[in-house]
Chains A and B, each alone.
Chain A
Amino acid sequence: MELVIDRLSKQYGSKIAVDRISAKLGKGVYGLLGANGAGKTTLMRMICGILKPTSGSVSFDGIDSEEEDFRAILGYLPQDFGYYPDFNAYDFLFYLSSLKAIPKKEAKAKINELLEVVGLREVAKKKIKTYSGGMKQRLGIAQALLNDPKLLILDEPTAGLDPKERVRFRNLIEKLGKDCIVLLSTHIVSDIEHISDEVLIMKDGSFIFQGKWNDKESSLEDFYLSQFEEGEDSE
């Protein structure tokens, strides 16, 4: 199981949003850190195959990101996603199950299981427009897990979750990371501090750090900030 990102770039006019990023990710949890505008969302969208790169490629076990088979193993939670106001949680997840080509019977069982996991079982028949921000986010997490993805891309997944929900989420990701590749971007360092196998720090479209960090030497937050300072010093 390997995600290969090969010299991926995205350019908008004269602005380079993602600058020749390469990486090989195996099973585990990868935390993607970076300031606003670093290019994290652009990178994640290209990995998911929903944004055409200017150059470079992404493949999972040899399957290119533009192919249907790639999307079959993908679970994606965008940073800012919408919903159909008149759908309830069941409708939304059934609809997405059909998009993910999950047979009906299997979908029903999976949806019930996921609604239990994200704590939305009791409000599943209510319309999404009545949900709080945290409930919508949990629904988003549920839809990303519908097809038991081998590659899970989560863009700021804990936004809107309260501390208790964040802990639950972290435990879930840690468990998932044992069987699939999880790439998780966040501003909340504590989300990935103890669960990420590797940290990817992004700045101005490039990785300025990629690897494991030693939690005995310093906290991840200090480590993260120090990378930026080092970057500034070298400039």
Chain B
Amino acid sequence: MNRFERGIKESFSVPNPIKKEEFIKKFPKPEMSLSKFVISQIPYVSKVTWALTILMFISVFLAPRILGVKVTWFISGLTPLMALLAVSESSRSQKYNMAQLEASTRFSLRSLLLARMLLLGIVSFVLIIVSVPLGTFYGSFRVFETSLYVITPFLLSASIGLYIVRSIKGNNGFYMVSAISLFISLIMFMGDKYFGFLFLSVGVKYWLMLFMLLLVLTIVESKKLLNNTEDMTWSL
């Protein structure tokens, strides 16, 4: 502010505003589109989740150099952990008793859940899209088999996890989801050494059937979780 502006300010008193609130209310409230809402949720996804996701991406890129042909099992062991992160983020409202507050906001709990599931679903999808070619190139299976071995454990972990968080509230449910996802990861990490019979070429058709079944189950459970938001606010 220069000395003239200062001089004018000192010389003249500004009249008190009249009908200030009514005037401000005339301005249209800024609206938020659904896509903007989804993007706005990015910083509200837990930092630990983002950190672990980044770590997973780094591991996927480094794995071929370190593990060579065993990279397929490593990647297929990572994807259930990605599903665990996605499911646990989706159930945060329940876990921290925020469901009632979130249910009463403009973007309802249902939209919030959808936004979180979309966000982490997209990230998981990117991880899988990146992993499959790497797994195929460095591993010992063809594209089709690698895709099945990478995606199926993800869907298994996701479908079971979504069912559990819907049925069992609180820390108990979260623990069960963690335990089951870690167990699936363990089976896949150890796949070549101890569970080789699961990866024989004769078994591919069973993997395909399991994949289709789990894809349907994951979609059904996701829908049920979204429709179940009313139940989350029931505090008993």
Residue positions of A touching B, CB distance < 8 A: 85, 132-133
Contact = CB atoms under 8 A, between A and B. Distances in A.
Contacts of B236: 132-133
Q: How large is the interface on B (under 10, 10 to 19, 20 to 34, 35 or more residues)?
A: under 10
A135 to B, nearest CB: 11
Contacts of A132: 236
Contacts of A85: 172
Contacts of B172: 85
Interface string B213-236: 000000000000000000000001
Interface of B: 172, 236
A132 B235 CA distance: 10
Per CB-CB distance, the 3 closest pairs between chain A and chain B, nearest first, are: A132-B236, A85-B172, A133-B236
A192 to B, nearest CB: 28
A84 to B, nearest CB: 11
Nearest to A133: B236
A85 B176 CA distance: 15
Contacts of A133: 236
A218 to B, nearest CB: 38
Nearest to A85: B172
A85 B172 CA distance: 10
A85 B236 CA distance: 13
B17 to A, nearest CB: 34
A137 B172 CA distance: 22
A133 B236 CA distance: 8
Nearest to A131: B236
B210 to A, nearest CB: 32
B44 to A, nearest CB: 27
3 contacts: A85-B172, A132-B236, A133-B236
